[in-house]
Amino acid sequence: MKGFFNKYGRIIGYAVLVLVVLLILGKGGNYIYKNTYSHEKYQYLLKGFQNQVFDQNVNITKKIKHNGTQGEFRLTFDKKDLSEEYVILVDNEFNSANVEFSIEGKLNSGDMNIRMVDDKIKDVFNKTVKGLNIKEVSTTDYTSSLYKFVFTPNAALNGDLVVKYKIK
């Protein structure tokens, strides 16, 4: 037995050291990934059917943390009549207790209903915004692993809205 450790002890030591380093890198890389943001941008000039124009010059930018606990939606449009839905999955290791929600921006005319619902389709937030100086901030205690954002416009024109959320 002593001969075995004399002959292979150094190789076993290096192998254990490499495994420990790989474990640390894996855990650290996963932590860094979950705390960085994904960016998605959707843009189109016109959506319509036959002679009816629904949307014009629409830009939608999503910036969501990979673990789902924080994010931002930015909607800029000339005319908006079609609904948008986005699903956010919160990391299973995260136990949410407090949800902060804010809406800032403007709508020249019409209004937009912005909802945040949980996996059972219960409203976490339900705000209808209109006007030029929109500033809505809400906080609630809520626990869910999946949230859905639903943007439903009602003849909304010339809008620039920023919807932010943070789950603590």
Q: At a CB cut-off of 8 Å and minimum separation 6, what does 164 contact? A: 71, 72, 73, 100, 101, 102, 103, 104
The mean pLDDT value of the chain amounts to 90
Dihedral, CA atoms, 41, 123, 111, 72, nearest 10 degrees? -30
pLDDT at 2: 76
pLDDT at 150: 95
pLDDT at 5: 75
What CATH class is the domain 37-167?
mainly beta
> How far is CA 133 from each of CA 80, 105, 108, 130, 162, rounded to the nearest angstrom?
18, 6, 10, 8, 12
pTM of the model: 0.82
* pLDDT tens digits for range 118-153: 888 888 899 999 998 889 888 888 888 889 999 999
Percent of the chain residues topping a pLDDT of 70: 99
**Is there a contact between 147 and 86 (Cβ–Cβ < 8 Å)?**
no
Enumerate the H helices of 35-154 as residue ranges.
none
Flag whether pLDDT at 51 surpasses 90: no
> Please, what's the largest Cα pairwise distance for the chain?
88
pLDDT at 6: 79
Tell me the domain boundaries of the chain. Answer: 1-34, 37-167
pLDDT at 24: 93
The average pLDDT across 155-160 equals 92
* pLDDT tens digits for range 71-111: 999 999 999 999 999 999 888 777 767 889 999 999 999 99
